[in-house]
Amino acid sequence: MSKYQVNEKGYYGKFGGAYIPEMLYPNVEELRQEYLKIMNDPDFQAEFDQLMRDYVGRPSPLYLAERLSERYGANVYLKREDLNHTGAHKINNTIGQILLAQRLGKKRIIAETGAGQHGVATATVCALKGLECVVYMGAIDIKRQAPNVARMKMMGATVVAAESGSKTLKDATNEALRDWINNPVDTHYIIGSVVGPHPYPDMVARFQSIISSEAKQQLLDKKGKLPDYVMACVGGGSNAIGMFYHFLEDESVQLIAAEAAGKGIRSGHSAATSVLGKEGVLHGSRTILMQTPDGQVIEPYSISAGLDYPGIGPQHAFLHENKRVKYVSITDDEAMQAGLLLTRLEGIIPAIESAHALAQLEKMKFEKDDDIILCLSGRGDKDLDNYMNYFSF
Ligand SMILES: *Cc1c(COP(=O)(O)O)cnc(C)c1O
């Protein structure tokens, strides 16, 4: 087993584990005992592969962005997760988990969502498989994200407002956990990133690793070599882990992850966890997170809802600590400019999350023959209002 992957105890170095209330133990333990058995079953793999191909539209292309490449003096390849059904990488994970839930005999799915992207991806696969779906969402987020709430309802999901605390993602997560404690037998909780108690970070990483297994082969087919750089944005970290997964052992490949610096790292309005974070427990795992000296979680901020998370998954905390991945911080302004640049050079409107990874290209110096693979985690349709307000179109 790779030194970068989870060990039998559920840890990446000192990070990871399952720090959960005792009442959740049976649910998480059932998952821990079953997930690898189910995922390695040939029937499961055949159904997963078929849905990835015929429903999601995989493999997603590896696109050589020629005008962007010209600007940076190197070959920039975009891994086009934006072309997936529902417009981002999140569907890879929700398909995997719904198939797993079915094999565990679950009849009911719950999820939490912040901006609504994970809620939509979950409602989608519940419609696909005819399972009941309840999505917990902060009351404030429900108001801010009306189109995604409408999508979930149209797919038949019940959207429950979390009215406690700051009425955002963390409160929705608490409500979802409470639901799971009360419905341990028939319900599966679909977590949307490489976060949460073991085995979630490893399970989600495995589902998202399809991104790098495809991209590695695609570049080998085109160039007969490994890339020099592989880049992605990080909220909780699932598209980045998926993009890095099959390159972790290839030490010649430089891995770069872009976090949201919001209005600036020192502004008090950011989500730059790798710079500002300290060790602690968040959402059931030991990781690094932004917290006050007495351990209160700090509300994160980013212009992109998907990066607006106060921690990173435990595997990222480990990859940061042992320096296998370089973590960089990108401000709102840098990301917005990079999003506009890609649109004008390539005719592709990226999600603002993905634009954080694009913005890092501006800060680097490349050799002429360098090959860069950058994960375009999602499309920007959902962000049009945000772009329009920012640029006053
Ligand atoms: C949710 C989201 C992200 C951030 O989540 P990760 O788990 O860090 O990948 C990034 N990009 C898009 C398009 C998203 O929807």
Question: Of 199, 192, 170, which Cα lies nearest the Cα of 299?
Answer: 170
Q: Which atom of ligand 1 is nearest to the CA of 194?
A: 7
Res 165: pLDDT: 85
Is 321 among the catalytic positions? no
Integer angstrom CA distances of residue 174 from 21, 57, 66, 112, 138: 12, 34, 46, 9, 10
- Tell me if domain 21-51+90-204 and domain 59-87+209-391 are identical in fold: yes
Which DSSP letter does residue 116 get?
Answer: S
Question: Of 49, 48, 46, 126, which Cα lies nearest the Cα of 86?
Answer: 126
Identify the three-state secondary structure at position 373: strand
Identify the three-state secondary structure at position 195: coil
Identify the three-state secondary structure at position 299: coil
Looking at residues 143-153, what average pLDDT do you find? 93
Looking at residues 149-177, what average pLDDT do you find? 93
Report the run of H or E that residue 197 belongs to, with start and end.
none
Looking at residues 284-297, what average pLDDT do you find? 94
Domain boundaries, the chain: 21-51+90-204, 59-87+209-391
pLDDT-derived band at 308 (thresholds 50, 70, 90) equals confident
Sign, CA torsion 315/319/324/329: positive
Res 1: pLDDT: 65
CA of 241 to the centre of ligand 1 (A): 11
Q: Which fold has domain 21-51+90-204?
A: Rossmann fold (3.40.50)
Q: For the whole prediction, is pTM greater than 0.85?
A: yes
Question: Alpha helices, DSSP H only, in the chain?
Answer: 25-39, 42-51, 66-72, 90-103, 117-129, 139-144, 146-154, 169-182, 200-208, 210-223, 238-244, 273-276, 314-321, 332-346, 352-361, 384-391
> Does the beta carbon of 259 sit less than 6 angstroms from any atom of ligand 1?
no
Backbone angles phi, psi at 284, to 5 degrees: 90, 5
- Give the CATH number of domain 59-87+209-391; options: 3.40.50.150, 3.40.50.1100, 3.40.50.300, 1.10.260.40: 3.40.50.1100
Catalytic residue (one of 60, 79, 81, 90)? 90
Is 112 among the catalytic positions? yes
| The pLDDT of residue 64 is above 70 | yes
Question: Of 4, 212, 243, 202, which Cα lies nearest the Cα of 97?
Answer: 202
Mean pLDDT of all residues belonging to the chain: 96
pLDDT-derived band at 354 (thresholds 50, 70, 90) equals very high
Portion of the chain with pLDDT greater than 70, in percent: 100
Res 188: pLDDT: 98
Res 12: pLDDT: 98
Res 115: pLDDT: 87
Burial class (CB in 10 A: 0-12, 13-18, 19+), 59: middle
